[in-house]
Amino acid sequence: MPTKKVSSTSCPAPRGKLLLIGGHENKGDAPDNDEQAALNVNFAPETILRRLAAEMRASGPLVVIPTASAEPEEIAKAYIEAYARMEGAPAVEILDVRSRADAMLAENVQRVQDAGGVLFTGGDQLRLTTLLGGTALQQVLQQRYAHDEFIIAGTSAGATAMSTPMIYQGRNDAGYLKGEIHITTGLELLHDVAVDTHFVARGRIVRMAQILATNPGCLGLGLEEDTAVLITEGKEIEVIGSGMVVILDVREGSTNIHEIAPNTPFTLCDARLHLLSSGERYTLPVMPRFYS
């Protein structure tokens, strides 16, 4: 029998943008009496939040989704107040989704459809993906990101949840023992990239290394506090903010993690490390995706 030839076409690059924030982004206050931050010439109040507002091409409000937080009203209020102080800032609305049923409601889906941009707050990324994964709200986010000039931002847990694979459990001081770090599927907006936040402040490079040891086709993207990356076309990144972005690439590395027993330290060799400050650009080596 002749072999049936299957034609595949690469999926087009998304028209939307992602803004992934490492957490603790400045909202107009002084740098928290931090002596090192005060000396940092890259520090400027509201840099990241202002950039989010500037990147909103679609009409409509900025919709803040505090689903990841155990205190949604309090965390959402901080963004309302921050943008209220900015001249020319967009209107800010809160979409308080606390259950999967909420994420299926037509009225909530319509609010995302009408938004000029979306911002996911910090909290617990597993809570965020558990409540939104597979719902109509996740679907409209994916559709708008793919087809519209639409920006989706996330800070801390909200940024971590954008990626697939997504880390959801692992202490800051853990990671060198096999099995200490747990991953799952994120909101599937950024593929083949593992994102972690508060990266330098909380010493999270070892736990990122374990994620990549078990997923060597992925890239690790570590975001420091008050630092963000703007991602366009699904792969082009620009660093924004006062801190540093860490990129870890183990595609040409080697590991023994598949051979050792659980709770055993693993080996990872020949990893490549990039440290990027504000204004730097980098192209993520994301593999193309196809449809038949």
Predicted TM-score (pTM) above 0.85: yes
Domains of the chain: 14-27+35-282 (3.40.50.880)
- The DSSP secondary-structure symbol of 67 reads T
CA distance 11 to 9: 6
Instruction: Give the residue numbers annotated as catalytic, written as ranges.
Output: 156, 198, 225
Q: Which residues contact 236 (CB under 8 A, 6 or more apart)?
A: 281, 283, 284
Q: Which residues contact 69 (CB under 8 A, 6 or more apart)?
A: 75, 121, 122, 123, 124
Distances (CA, A) of 167 to 47, 83, 179, 215: 27, 30, 12, 12
Which residue is listed with tokens 């299957």? 6
Three-state SS for 267? coil
Q: What is the pLDDT of residues 66-113, one digit of tens each?
A: 999 999 999 999 999 999 999 989 999 999 999 999 999 999 999 999
Q: Using the predicted structure, report yes or no on whether residue 257 has a pLDDT greater than 70.
A: yes
Q: What is the pLDDT of residues 160-186, one digit of tens each?
A: 999 999 999 877 777 899 999 999 999
Q: How confident is the model at residue 200 (pLDDT cuts 50, 70, 90)?
A: very high
CA distance 290 to 8: 6
CA distance 93 to 108: 12
Tell me: cis bond preceding 45? Omega within 30 of 0 counts.
no
Residue-wise over 218-250: b if at least 16 C-beta within 10 A, else e? Answer: bbbbbbbbbbbbbbbebbebbbbbbbbbbbbbb
